[in-house]
Structure 1
Amino acid sequence: MIKKGNIVILTASHPYKAAGLVAFDLMHSLEMANYNVQIITNARLEKNYEQTFSLRGVSRMIFTHRILKSLRIRFNRLFKITRFKTDPNYHMNGLNPMKGIMLSKKIAKNLPSKVDAFIYLFPQNFLDTTGLNYLNKITKAPIFWYMMDMAPMTGGCHYAWNCLGYTAKCGMCPGIYSNDKSDITNQLWQEKKKYIESANIIPIAASQGQYNQLKSSSLFTDKNKYKVLIPIDSNIFKPNNKHDARNKIGLPLDKKIIFFGAASINESRKGLKELIESLKLLKSEMILEDSTVFVAVAGNRNQQLENEIPFAHKFLGYLNYKQLATAYQAADLFACPSIEDSGPMMINQSIMCGTPVVSFNIGVSLDLVINYKTGFKVANGDTLEFAKALNLILTLPTNELENMSFYCRNLGLEKTSMESICKLWKRILEYEISNQ
């Protein structure tokens, strides 16, 4: 069968680890539409990495710059770049970006003779808009910026919280405690605007929550805008027998199990403080005996968190993709307490496994969490309503919980499976490539 075109995925994150796996799953989605796909990353790769990936069908993997970090440090010292005091809640990783022309030129030497489109994700310490502009000019290929957070829309932060600077020109940035309207975030916004406007850079949101922000973004005012949920491998993330799943990861067979992830316990945006409060409210208000509830936590054991969880619990440690799918399959529900997030992708995964979700009404919950059908979403930060939603699912009759699980799986296949995402990308790519 003749290949339709060459797509190059550019990513700073390791495409076979954690959230970086989006690139790997995206590649397979595009291959379903018969595109030839290449991934280019600046992540450090293991010695056996390419052998592992060749078995999974990755066409090519290039490590673009092993000394990027040391060059960045030298660059900052040479030009006496000021280091700012930052508020960690905003994740100000976009400050002092290293210019991307050097990396772009290196990437250009390793491209196919003809590139039909680039897809760019996870930009930290990789390419800035200068570099993207360069690649667009020399290849004439559109660049689809697939946004994993708010970084493409701002002058430096990855999460804006209640700040609306990204709807104007940034400046007076709370992430650097600034009262100056012409601060570094405004300067970076000005530079981004210049290179985005003069290149064919097209933003793609990964959730409805993010798409709502994108529509207000001042950097992409005159650009076509799209929403494509993160693809999930439905052959890995799928419903399974709960007893079998619980036996695999050592969870009790006779309990109601709440599952959640705690990889970043010190990040306010992940909402673990709110979740603990909700769990305590659940224990005091629930109809069930508390001895019937068990909490499973993805992440390594943390004494502070362990002391706060009011139910019997188990830390499952770091989970790879298949183990994570097993955890969803074992649970009666997935609790997602994030209060500032463009996703999170764990909602997509849980829904695909047929596991109902309780979340706040942010990010991808607006797409996938439908009250009384796939779980419940409640007002952001409302811990009492979150607790009530947990209780509602835990006390559902077996047949109603099975119906909810069935609806979850069907919605997952419809909205976020590789096949459905493939169709969306195909339609977008064909339209934008033919009309550039």
Structure 2
Amino acid sequence: MRILIVNTSEKTGGAAVAANRLKDALNNNGVKAKMLVRDKLTDDITVVSLGHEWQNQRHLLWERFCVFCHLHFSREHLFEIDIANAGSDITKLREFKEADIIHLSWINQGMLSLKNIRKILCSGKPVVWTMHDLWPAAGICHYAHGCCRYENGCGNCPLLPGGGSPHDLSAKVWKRKKEMLSHGNIWFVTCSQWLSRQAKRSGLLRGISVRDIPNPIDSHFFQPQDKQAARKRLHLPDDRRLVLFVSQRVTDQRKGMDYFVEAVARMAEEHPEMKGHTGIAILGGHAEELEGKLALPVYPIGYVSDQQRIRDVYNAADVFVLPSLEDNLPNTIMEAMACGVPCVGFAVGGIPEMIDHRKNGYVAAERDAADLAKGIRWVLDEADYKALSEAAAAKVLHSYSQRSVARQYLEVYNEAMAYKNFCL
């Protein structure tokens, strides 16, 4: 069986990391898989570039310009909206023709247009689409933020100026998607039970198979290692307990930095002794902007792409905190847990599916900075830390191993192929 996984980027972003790991998991478990990307960053022979860079850039810029116009030339929400009105036809590529199943992943920002996806569906090849957010099941948004309009056609979109209208851009794109999905055989997979519940409420996916399969991780690579050695390689202090925060862009409001800042301030005020023995390590772009905003000493690591260095960052930490306000199944929590680091996060999205409250970490009440602070303190000072650490690593081995995830996807692929053969 030959699988072609299609994703905009090879490495950049959580969906790219997850798609790449799935490709490796499949290849390591007897399934031939390749990845087709617009932005190829390595010399991995199992990753194929779309090519035509100037054309790809044109598709991206044209879509952004159209969104910009609909936003009345405001940058607010500019990158929260995707309309897929431009992209590349991949059906003529050799890799497409050789594949038994086309596996779509995150294909936004000029990778595939709705017209391109319809052509893929009309090709007769079975299509599996992994949802890393809600976009495939909604009009133009990636996260609903409490909006339920996607269930019955969108319109009056809160992301558009003035709250949109009944027949606004979101409604038009929703209708185009509905028509597109009426062609071909397609199976949807979500990375979390939370996203699966949302997707199944969508009017776009009525009558279409939706199941949840978590992202995989290479637990032979991400695993507990010597903490002091990791800190030495990163030039981090060895005489402090380190609280870790990670985000591709740490100033992203969805990642909940404001709540993290408030939680740290509460801890420093209520337990001033922490200033002498606890610090904050921050991994991600713009990390330096947070110096002076946190009430404990900050150690900005910056943006890191080297996987061994990222593994060191996790192993250097005592607790990992991700106060996301809406998230699917964060790779960062999985990576931290695989390294035996207890995690603290809000009870949102797929996070409570990953962190078992007071067993391998702490799940704080949503948007409650006081409870977030309580959770961090509980991990550092009250819990049986060794038991938490062991339970975190064990959860990853049981639920997110390459073998486990590959087996679940193989079931979907076999079902898709059986349906195709039945129709023939």
- Asked if TM exceeds 0.5, the reply is yes
Q: Which moved more, 1:274-283 or 1:121-130?
A: 121-130
Within 2, Cα distance between the matches of 1:292 and 1:213? Answer: 43
Q: Any idea what SS the aligned residue of 2:242 has?
A: strand
Contact 1:231 1:417 in 2 (8 A): yes
Q: Any idea what SS the aligned residue of 1:363 has?
A: coil
Give, as a single letter, the amino acid of the residue that structure 2 aligns with 1:7: I
Contact 2:8 2:111 in 1 (8 A): yes
Give the CA deviation at 1:181: 0.9
The verdict on how the C-alpha distance between 1:276 and 1:169 changes in structure 2, with shifts beyond 3 A counting, is same
Q: Any idea what SS the aligned residue of 1:335 has?
A: strand
The verdict on how the C-alpha distance between 1:73 and 1:295 changes in structure 2, with shifts beyond 3 A counting, is closer
Give the CA deviation at 1:112: 5.7
2:367 is the alignment partner of 1:381: yes
Within 2, Cα distance between the matches of 1:92 and 1:80? Answer: 10
Who is 1:315 aligned against?
A: 300
2:111 is the alignment partner of 1:126: yes
Q: How many aligned residue pairs are there?
A: 414
Give the CA deviation at 1:27: 0.8
2:44 is the alignment partner of 1:53: yes
Within 2, Cα distance between the matches of 1:216 and 1:348? Answer: 27
Within 2, Cα distance between the matches of 1:227 and 1:359? Answer: 21
Contact 1:87 1:176 in 2 (8 A): no
The verdict on how the C-alpha distance between 1:203 and 1:129 changes in structure 2, with shifts beyond 3 A counting, is farther
2:397 is the alignment partner of 1:413: yes
Give the CA deviation at 1:8: 0.5
Q: Which moved more, 1:297-306 or 1:277-286?
A: 297-306
Within 2, Cα distance between the matches of 1:352 and 1:311? Answer: 26
Q: Any idea what SS the aligned residue of 1:70 has?
A: helix
Q: Any idea what SS the aligned residue of 2:302 has?
A: coil
2:332 is the alignment partner of 1:334: no
Within 2, Cα distance between the matches of 1:369 and 1:216? Answer: 25
The verdict on how the C-alpha distance between 1:333 and 1:172 changes in structure 2, with shifts beyond 3 A counting, is same
2:280 is the alignment partner of 1:284: no
Q: Any idea what SS the aligned residue of 1:174 has?
A: coil
Who is 1:26 aligned against?
A: 22
2:260 is the alignment partner of 1:275: yes
Contact 2:250 2:284 in 1 (8 A): no
The alignment yields a C-alpha RMSD, in angstroms, of 2.4
Q: 2:11 aligned to 13, 16, 27, which one?
A: 16
Q: Which moved more, 1:285-294 or 1:341-350?
A: 285-294
Q: Any idea what SS the aligned residue of 1:380 has?
A: coil
1:393-404 equivalence runs, <5 A: 393-396=379-382, 400-404=384-388
Give the CA deviation at 1:220: 0.8
Q: Any idea what SS the aligned residue of 1:12 has?
A: strand
Q: 2:377 aligned to 359, 381, 391, which one?
A: 391
Contact 1:260 1:296 in 2 (8 A): yes
Q: 1:370 aligned to 356, 367, 372, which one?
A: 356
Contact 1:287 1:391 in 2 (8 A): no
1:4-153 equivalence runs, <5 A: 5-13=1-9, 15-19=10-14, 20-43=16-39, 45=40, 49=42, 52-54=43-45, 58=46, 60-66=47-53, 67-71=55-59, 73=61, 82-85=69-72, 88=76, 91-95=79-83, 97-100=84-87, 103-104=88-89, 106-111=90-95, 113-124=97-108, 125-138=110-123, 140-153=124-137
Give, as a single letter, the amino acid of the residue that structure 2 aligns with 1:93: I
CA distances 1:379-412 after superposition (whole Å, capped 9, x unpaired): 2101111110000001036xx2111111111110
Q: Any idea what SS the aligned residue of 2:36 has?
A: strand
Within 2, Cα distance between the matches of 1:75 and 1:242? Answer: 46
Q: Which runs of 5+ in 2 are unaligned?
A: none
Within 1, Cα distance between the matches of 2:353 and 2:77? Answer: 25
Contact 2:284 2:302 in 1 (8 A): yes
Within 2, Cα distance between the matches of 1:112 and 1:299? Answer: 35
Within 1, Cα distance between the matches of 2:336 and 2:50? Answer: 32
Q: Any idea what SS the aligned residue of 1:42 has?
A: strand
CA distances 1:28-69 after superposition (whole Å, capped 9, x unpaired): 1111331211211122x45xx4xx313xxx2x5132442122
Q: Any idea what SS the aligned residue of 2:197 has?
A: helix
2:215 is the alignment partner of 1:219: no
Q: Any idea what SS the aligned residue of 2:219 has?
A: coil
Who is 1:189 aligned against?
A: 174
Give, as a single letter, the amino acid of the residue that structure 2 aligns with 1:225: V
The verdict on how the C-alpha distance between 1:204 and 1:64 changes in structure 2, with shifts beyond 3 A counting, is farther
TM-score, normalised relative to structure 2: 0.91
The verdict on how the C-alpha distance between 1:285 and 1:90 changes in structure 2, with shifts beyond 3 A counting, is farther
The verdict on how the C-alpha distance between 1:371 and 1:87 changes in structure 2, with shifts beyond 3 A counting, is farther
Within 2, Cα distance between the matches of 1:68 and 1:114? Answer: 23
Give, as a single letter, the amino acid of the residue that structure 2 aligns with 1:221: R
Give, as a single letter, the amino acid of the residue that structure 2 aligns with 1:202: W
Q: Any idea what SS the aligned residue of 1:226 has?
A: strand
Q: Any idea what SS the aligned residue of 1:354 has?
A: coil
Within 2, Cα distance between the matches of 1:75 and 1:284? Answer: 48
The verdict on how the C-alpha distance between 1:200 and 1:90 changes in structure 2, with shifts beyond 3 A counting, is farther
Within 1, Cα distance between the matches of 2:209 and 2:339? Answer: 33
The verdict on how the C-alpha distance between 1:89 and 1:359 changes in structure 2, with shifts beyond 3 A counting, is farther
Contact 1:358 1:389 in 2 (8 A): yes
Q: Any idea what SS the aligned residue of 1:386 has?
A: helix
Percent identical: 22
Q: Which moved more, 1:125-134 or 1:86-95?
A: 86-95
Give the CA deviation at 1:192: 0.1
TM-score, normalised relative to structure 1: 0.88
1:240-255 equivalence runs, <5 A: 240-255=225-240
Give the CA deviation at 1:304: 4.2
